[in-house]
Amino acid sequence: MKYDVAVVGAGVVGALIARALSRTDLHVVLLEKYNDVAMGTTKANSAIVHGGFDAANGTLKAKLNVRGTELMPQLCETLHVPYRNNGSLVLAFSEEEMQHVHALYERGLKNGVPRLSVLDKSAVLELEPHVSGEVVGALLSETAGIVCPYELTIAAAENAVENGVDFIRNCAVTAIEKAPDGFTLQTTCGAIEAAYIVNAAGIHSDDIARMIGDDSISLVARKGEYYLLDKAYGYLADHTIFQCPNKMGKGVLVTPTVDGNLLIGPSALDVDDKEDVDTTAKGLQFVVEKAKRSVPELNLRGAITSFAGLRAHPTTDDFIIGFSEKSDRFVNVAGIESPGLSAAPAIAEMVYEMLLEKTKASERVDFKPGRKAPVRFRNMTKAEREALIAKNKAYGRVICRCETITEGEILDAIHAPAGARDVDGIKRRTRAGMGRCQGGFCGSKVVEILSRELGVPMNEITKFGGNSKILFEKTK
C-alpha cells in the first residue's frame, strides 16, 4: 500500500496531526505499535490545559502552548471531548515564592497569555477554601483548563478514520528505507510505503529519527507518578493547584479531573527504560507528602488507583518540530513533553500547514470536523434515557455499576472507527471499570462482550494487547 503520509505514533500529537491532514486529499496512515491509540504518555499525565506562562519566552513551547490552549475549547466541543475551563493557581508559601509568582506573571504576559492575575491570601482562600492556611498568595490563570487526554486522542483518531485515514494498530515501525519518492517503512505488520513521514513517536521519536540517520535528537525519559482519588474527594479542589518550584524540586499539583475525581502528582525521576511505567513506593510517598502542603486535608483512604507516565525530555529543552536535516520528506515532532497536551492542537495546525505547503495538497470539501457524540447514559435525563432504551434495548442493561455504564455504550466503543479491542480500551472509552471497584464486578462481563463482538474466545481477550491476556485455558 502506498500512502502520501505515514504518521508514526497514535498519541495525542499523532492522532491530532492525522486528523488535521484528513482535511486534505492526502492519503494518510496512522501507525501505532500498541493495540490502541493513547497507550503512551498520552494516557498518563496531569491532563492540564496550561495557561502558557511557564515556558521560556520565545520558545516553541510558549508559542504553541498559548495557541493550543486557545484552540482547545472549540476542538473539544467539536469532537465531544470532556473539557472544563477551571482555571489554575500557582500557590506561594513565602515571600520568596511570591517573587516567583510575579516572575511567572511577567513571563506569561510576554508569552501572550490572557487573563492572568496575582491574588493575595484571602482571594486564594475564597476561591479554594481547602488550600493550606500557610498560603501567602498565588498566580491565577483563567484560561487554564482540564481535558481528558485519552478521550481527546480517541476522538481525534475516530474522526480521522471517518475522514479516510487508515489506522493500523499493533504496527511498530522497526526500520525505514529511503525509496525514490519517499520511504519504505518496515513494520511488525509488513512493509508500508509513504511519500512523507511524520515522526510523532513520543519518547521513541529519537529512535525513529535515527532510522533515517538523523541522530540530532536526544531524549531523556523522566517518570512521573500519580494517585487518583475517588470522586467523593473531588470537592477538595476546583482549580488546578500548582506549587512554586523551590530547592526541594518542582512541586506537585492537586487537580480535579473532568470526571470529578481528584488527581495528585507527579513525581520526577529519570529512568533508563523507555517502557518503565511501574509505580514505586518512594515516588507515591513523595507525591502524597508534597500534595499535602497545598491541601492538608488530603487523605489516601480515597485512593482508587495509581499510575505513572514518562516525560520525553529533550536535552534542548524545547519542542523539536520541523523537517529533518536528513530529509525534507521527514517531519520530526519530537521532545513533546509538557505542555505537549495543551499544545497538541497547535502542533497539529503547524504540521498541517508545513505539509500543505510542501505537498501542495488541496483541502477536501467533504471533511467532517466532528464525530458523533458518544452516548453517556449516566449524564442523561429520565426522558432521554427512556427514548434511548426504546430505540436500542442494549442501553437498558447496566454493565458497570459504579459508573452506570450500559452494554450499549460498550458496543458503541467496540464498533466505533478505531474502536476498542481490549478491556482497557473499553475502560478509556466508556469508564466501565474506572470506578471505585475498579472492574471487580464488570471486568468479566466486559471480557464476555469483547469475546462475543470480536468473535474470539474469552481467553484471547487482553487487558491492553500483546501478552496481557486475562484468562488461560478452560477449566478441567
Binding site for ligand FAD (CB under 6 A): 8-14, 31-34, 39-42, 45-48, 50, 172-173, 200-204, 208, 224, 266, 309-311, 336-342
Residues 384-403 close enough to bind other proteins by CB under 8 A: 385-386, 389-390, 393-398, 401-402
Picked from other proteins, ligand FAD, none, the partner binding residue 356 (CB below 5 to 8 A depending on kind) is none
Residue showing cell 500519580: 226
d(CA 285, CA 280): 9
Regarding 438 and contact with other proteins (CB under 8 A), the answer is: yes
Q: Which of 33, 61, 427, 463 binds other proteins (CB under 8 A)?
A: 463
What minimum distance in Å lies between the beta carbon of 65 and ligand FAD?
7
Q: Across the strands, what pairs with 185?
A: 176, 192
What minimum distance in Å lies between the beta carbon of 362 and ligand FAD?
27
d(CA 101, CA 237): 20
d(CA 307, CA 464): 15
Picked from ligand FAD, other proteins, none, the partner binding residue 22 (CB below 5 to 8 A depending on kind) is none
Residues 287-346 close enough to bind other proteins by CB under 8 A: 300, 303-307
Residue in 355, 333, 344, 3 with CA at minimum distance from that of residue 168: 3
Residue in 320, 344, 323, 324 with CA at minimum distance from that of residue 334: 320
d(CA 438, CA 144): 30
Picked from other proteins, ligand FAD, none, the partner binding residue 246 (CB below 5 to 8 A depending on kind) is none
Measured between alpha carbons, how far is residue 11 from residues 15, 256, 434 in Å?
Answer: 6, 23, 21
Picked from ligand FAD, other proteins, none, the partner binding residue 12 (CB below 5 to 8 A depending on kind) is ligand FAD
The three-point CA angle 200-150-193 to 5° equals: 30
The gap from C-alpha 221 to its chain's centroid, in whole angstroms, comes to: 17
SS3 451: helix
What minimum distance in Å lies between the beta carbon of 277 and other proteins?
7
For this structure, is 27 an active site residue?
no
Residue 261 φ/ψ region, left for φ over 0, alpha for ψ in the -120 to 50 degree band, beta for the rest: beta
Regarding 436 and contact with other proteins (CB under 8 A), the answer is: yes
Picked from ligand FAD, other proteins, none, the partner binding residue 9 (CB below 5 to 8 A depending on kind) is ligand FAD
Active site (catalytic) residues:
50
**Which residues form the interface with other proteins (CB under 8 A)?**
227-228, 275, 277-281, 283-284, 300, 303-307, 382, 385-386, 389-390, 393-398, 401-402, 404, 407, 436-441, 443-444, 448, 458-459, 462-464, 466-476
